[in-house]
Amino acid sequence: MQSPPELSDKSNSILFWNIARKGKRSMDIIIKKTKEQRPSFIGLVEAEELTDKDIMRFEETFPSYSIQKLKGGMVLAVKGEIDDIRYYCKDESFKFNYITVTLANQKTAILVADVNAVPFTNRKSALHTIYEFTIKNNPSFIIGDFNTPYESVHFGDFKNNLNSFHKMSKGFTATWPYGIPLFEIDQIWSAKAIRPVLLKKEHYKISDHALLIGVYE
């Protein structure tokens, strides 16, 4: 496994992972990676199996972080404060949380998305809705399991008006499935004012999705 990226004084990091409904074992890895990276924030999807005990263990290990279970089976932890949460969903098409937080004494917003995994669902409408919400509300970061390859034509607006960490990827860009990853469906995007520096992926047997570590300035 690759060593963690070295951060400059100006760099910060993000951790995103679809933990595939694994509880304690995924929290063991999250705590280990948080000790290594000290990320600005951590976003998790398919995190329904994380218990209050798991959340409490994280809080006790990292008292400088705020962590909260969100609707839609998501979890967010920030090195700062969670100020406000808004949840949006459409049937079985998509769901996302828009969270206002305080990081480094500055207000910012994070969007955590989980798009339906049904293979034959047309994801054009879901991605368009998330994009339009992003342009209107201007979150600094958009992270999620989009269940749509980065190469999809439906990411055209994202690529034109946001920054993707894709180009900063170290090694193969595919994030799913475990074993022989074929598709880059787990992604980190940011506002234009944020500069992606590095995107690293780590694979663990407990999830069929790669854990993403994004470094930015």
Assess if residue 4 is contained within a domain: no
Return the pLDDT at 121.
65
**Structural domains of the chain, count:** 1
**Which tokens is 66 given?**
């705020």
Domain extent for 43: 12-216
Return the pLDDT at 171.
84
Assess if residue 210 is contained within a domain: yes
Q: What is the pLDDT of residues 140-177, one digit of tens each?
A: 999 999 999 999 999 999 999 999 999 999 888 999 99
Helix (H) or strand (E) holding 55: helix 52-61
Vertex 87: Cα angle to 136 and 32 (nearest 5): 105
CATH of residue 201 = 3.60.10.10
Helix (H) or strand (E) holding 68: strand 66-70
Assess if residue 5 is contained within a domain: no
Assess if residue 200 is contained within a domain: yes
Q: Give the burial class of 158: count Cβ atoms within 10 A of its Cβ; 0-12 exposed, 13-18 middle, 19 or more buried.
A: buried
- Kindly report the length of the chain: 217
pTM: 0.93
Assess if residue 83 is contained within a domain: yes
Assess if residue 146 is contained within a domain: yes
